[in-house]
Amino acid sequence: MAAPVAIDDPDDPRVAAFRDISERDLVGRQGRFIAEGTVVLRMLAAAHAAGRFRAEQVLILENRLPGVEAILDAFPADVPVYVAPARVIDAVAGFHLHRGVLAIGRRPDAAPDLDSLIATLPDRALVLAGCGISNHDNAGSLFRNAAAFGADALFLDETSCDPLYRKALRVSVGSVLAVPFVRQGSILDLLEKLDAAGFAVWGLSPRGEAEVGDIPVGPRMALVMGTEGEGLPQAVMSRFRTARIAQRPHLDSLNVAMAAGIGLYRIAQLQGRI
């Protein structure tokens, strides 16, 4: 790790990247994102070491430093570590939610596209796809479940939100940095490519034909989630097979992340990956 540098002035240009992070969506600014909290910081260190993401700088509340030194040790010495008192961090970051542990990460310039990610998948694979996942909580929870049940990748269509957004990343407990993903193109195009690559594509919907526990589990499985409320588009429901999760007749069906978790758990068990 780099020797920690004390910052005493909120206007210090070295911490300008952290300014008002609650107000702005950093994502899109040259692929940068905010990692907050010790769990996400640990995942960023691992992703940096693996070359999947780059850590640009770290900002730590001074009294949190002793508690996170083991995590900081996992970053190379060319990643600056700034340390500041609460007064300075609050003035820079503009809010109290950071829990004293912040970092700026960045996507690699050559992030994988849809075709290259599909090409990396193993012969026995389980992937999750999302269509119109616009809620950051749901996006983060999908990644958390994908990681828990050992999914190999997560595919989001272009109408889904960016899972590197601060809240989605936090809710994912950093899994967005661990589960390979792309967010690109239309859902139909994406699913056709998975189908062509030998994936059995199953849409999950309250109107699905088969109970999720009864679907035949092959070596390559893709589970597709729609947006909450509207569900999967009819074009997806018509083109691919569909499964449901038995539940009581109820105004609102299961939360999308919950449904995905149940589906992933069943398939991961039957594929022997958990």
> Any contact of residue 194 with a copy of itself (CB under 8 A)?
no
Q: Which of 192, 193, 265, 270 binds a copy of itself (CB under 8 A)?
A: 265
Binding segment for a copy of itself (CB under 8 A), chosen from 5-13, 53-61, 96-104, 252-260, is 252-260
> Any contact of residue 269 with a copy of itself (CB under 8 A)?
yes
> Any contact of residue 167 with a copy of itself (CB under 8 A)?
no
Q: Which of 25, 32, 213, 270 binds a copy of itself (CB under 8 A)?
A: 213
> Any contact of residue 150 with a copy of itself (CB under 8 A)?
yes
User: DSSP letter string over the chain?
Assistant: -PPPEE---TT-GGGGGGTTTTTS--TTSTTEEEEESHHHHHHHHHHHHTTSSEEEEEEEEGGGHHHHHHHHTTS-TTS-EEEE-HHHHHHHH-SSTTTTEEEEEE--TT---HHHHHHT--SSEEEEEESS---HHHHHHHHHHHHHTT-SEEEE-TTSPPTTSHHHHHHTTTGGGTS-EEE-S-HHHHHHHHHHTT-EEEEE-TT-SEEGGGS---SEEEEEE-BTTTBS-HHHHHHSEEEE------SS---HHHHHHHHHHHHHHHTT--
> Any contact of residue 122 with a copy of itself (CB under 8 A)?
no
> Any contact of residue 23 with a copy of itself (CB under 8 A)?
no
Q: Which of 132, 174, 203, 208 binds a copy of itself (CB under 8 A)?
A: 174
> Any contact of residue 238 with a copy of itself (CB under 8 A)?
no
> Any contact of residue 270 with a copy of itself (CB under 8 A)?
no
> Any contact of residue 181 with a copy of itself (CB under 8 A)?
no
Residues of this chain that bind a copy of itself (CB under 8 A): 39, 42-43, 137, 141, 144-145, 147-150, 173-174, 213, 245-248, 250-255, 257-258, 261-262, 265, 268-269, 273-274
